Structures are given as C-alpha cells and as structure tokens.
Amino acid sequence: MPIHMPEGSYAFQVGSVCCTVLSDGYFAYPTPWFFPNGDPGKLAAALDRRRLPHHAVLSPYTCLLIETGRHVALVDTGAGELSRTSGAIVARLGMAGIRPRDVDTVILTHAHPDHIGGAVGSGGRPVFPNARHILAEAELGFWTGPHPDLTGLRVPGDVRATLGRVARRAIDALRFQIETLNGEQELLPGVHAIPAPGHTPGHLAVLVASGNDRLLSLGDAAVHPLHLEYPELENGFDLCAETAGRTRAGLLRRAAAEQMRVMAFHFPFPSVGRIAARDGEGWEWMPGW
C-alpha cells in the first residue's frame, strides 16, 4: 500500500525497494515550448478536455529517491536555486529522514538545469558530498565540448544560453564526483541506467526492478501526458526530435510489454502511473500507483 507523506512527497514500494517521489517545485512554460509542432486547433481541444490553460504549461519537477536497504540513490536533483519555486530537494529528503551526506548515488538523467541544478549549492559546492554522480559519457562530452550545438532546440536563444551555462557550471563543480557510463548498466542492485537519447545526446532512463515489480523512470523522454496520447507531438527542448520520438516509443513499448509502472519528471505530481495502448496509436496515461 502507498505511504502518504507530507505534501510534495509520495512513497511506495517496488518489490523490496522503497521509492519516494519528491517535488522540487514547478515552472510555467509557454505552451509552444512543449508542443512546437502542435496543430493549434487540435492542441487547444486537447487542453480543453483536461481543463488546462492554452497559454502556459504548469510543469512539476519531480525527483525520485531510491532506498535499497544498503544504498540511498537520488534520480535527478531538481533546479536548486534557479527558480523561485524550486530548491526544496534537501528539505524534501529531510522529510523522508535522509540527510544530503546519506545519499551515495545521484543519477543524472541529463544536464538540463532543472535536473542538475539542485546538485550544486549557491556557493558552488556539491550538495551531496559523499555521492558519486552518474552521467552518460555522451552527455558529459556534449556539454563540456568547446561549442555545444543547441540549434535543434525550439526555444528562445536566451534559454539555450542558460542551458549551456548551468550545465557547464554544475559539471565543473561535480568534476571529482562524476562517473560516466556507456550503454545500459546496473548501477545498484536492481537499479539500471538505460540510454534514452534524443532529448539530449546522453539522456538516460532509469529502471528499478525488485521481485515482480518494475518502475521505469522516463526522465524527459516525455514531458507531458499529451506526448503519450499524440506521438506526433514534439518537445521544443528535444535536441533531436526524430531520435527523441523513437526513444519515447521504444521505452513505452518496453514498459507495456513488461507491465511496468512509469514515472516522468514533468508529469502531474506524483508523476507515477500506468500506460495502456490506445486504439490506433499512442498511449493512455493512467496516473497513480
């Protein structure tokens, strides 16, 4: 049975593994940033069905705490002090009885500010001093290269500049704690990193498996339930929309075939649920554990 915790936290079991989703706030994104190729009429109708506004998408930042009994891992760290609504991840961990020094593994799905920003404090020091920080080698190479090519993003130029600046600052601060990987890899017993490129070159999904239970954390392979329902919809933050679309479809097919629960960082809190194939194409999102 799910364990209800203070607002902003929601705990549940994946077999013998205790998982807790932790809110690090939210941000209101202009709708075209999330659905740059959406037909205006169809998109408006889809938003109306959900009683959602047309002009902006209120998007949560939801991190995942994994406690195996021997290890304490955190998937993504939120945006830290980059937003007026974020920076709560340490307090959320405290509600779960976890201190920053207790975290031994931080899995960074990618190096966008809302995922890596909470790993570095305002003074430029790592927030989780005892943790190895897992990042795909392709991700590290992309952001630390001389000229990261962000022209595939369909967001304003100042947003692109912020992405690059924050990624480089965080990676530099974490340079002595970063461990890179290539390919699918078991990071902790029952916790696997899965390459999921397209959103960024080294974007990762995370699979938690224990007993007969499975949880697949999509990271930003999908940032809104409409990306499941309408597979043709793209995300303006995807560096390569074509690759991201193939990745998203592959992860969803795998989740459905293996009857996994699914989590997505930006889906409505608590950001976990099930998926089912819709007639024709696409997937239905069914929230809740």
Q: pLDDT category, 164, cuts 50, 70, 90?
A: very high
pLDDT tens, 47-60?
999 999 999 999 99
Q: Which pLDDT score, from 0 to 100, does residue 37 have?
A: 97
Q: Which pLDDT score, from 0 to 100, does residue 86 have?
A: 81
Residues sharing a CB contact under 8 Å with residue 20, sequence separation 6 or more, in sequence order: 5, 9, 10, 11, 12, 64, 65, 67, 96
Q: pLDDT category, 7, cuts 50, 70, 90?
A: low
Rounded to 5°, the CA angle 89-99-213 comes to 75
User: Could you give the number of structural domains in the chain?
Assistant: 1
**How many other C-beta atoms lie within 10 A of the C-beta of residue 257?**
8
Q: Which pLDDT score, from 0 to 100, does residue 3 have?
A: 41
Query: At what angle are helices 157-173 and 137-144 packed, to 10 degrees?
Result: 120
- DSSP code per residue over 146-200: SS---TT--S-HHHHHHHHHHHHHHHHHTTTTEEEE-SSEEEETTEEEEE-TTSS
Q: Which pLDDT score, from 0 to 100, does residue 176 have?
A: 97
Which amino acid does the sequence have at 47?
L
Domain that holds residue 194: 3-287
Q: Over range 98-123, report the average pLDDT.
A: 96
Q: pLDDT category, 2, cuts 50, 70, 90?
A: very low
Share of the chain above pLDDT 70, in %: 98
> Quick check: 27 pLDDT over 80?
yes
Q: Over range 178-202, report the average pLDDT.
A: 97
Share of the chain above pLDDT 90, in %: 90
What is the average pLDDT value for the chain, to the nearest integer?
A: 94
CA 158 centroid distance within chain: 22
> Quick check: 5 pLDDT over 80?
no
> Quick check: 4 pLDDT over 70?
no
> Quick check: 84 pLDDT over 50?
yes
pLDDT tens, 231-272?
999 999 999 999 999 999 999 999 999 999 999 999 999 999
Q: Which pLDDT score, from 0 to 100, does residue 205 have?
A: 98
Asked if residues 264 and 203 have their Cβ atoms less than 8 Å apart, the reply is no
Q: Which pLDDT score, from 0 to 100, does residue 41 have?
A: 96
Q: pLDDT category, 85, cuts 50, 70, 90?
A: confident
Q: Which pLDDT score, from 0 to 100, does residue 122 have?
A: 84
How far is it, in rounded angstroms, from Cα 68 to Cα 81?
29
Could you tell me the CATH number of the domain that includes residue 140? Answer: 3.60.15.10
Q: Over range 170-179, report the average pLDDT.
A: 98
How far is it, in rounded angstroms, from Cα 213 to Cα 238?
30
6 against 43, higher pLDDT: 43
pLDDT tens, 130-148?
999 999 999 999 999 999 9
Residues sharing a CB contact under 8 Å with residue 95, sequence separation 6 or more, in sequence order: 5, 6, 8, 9
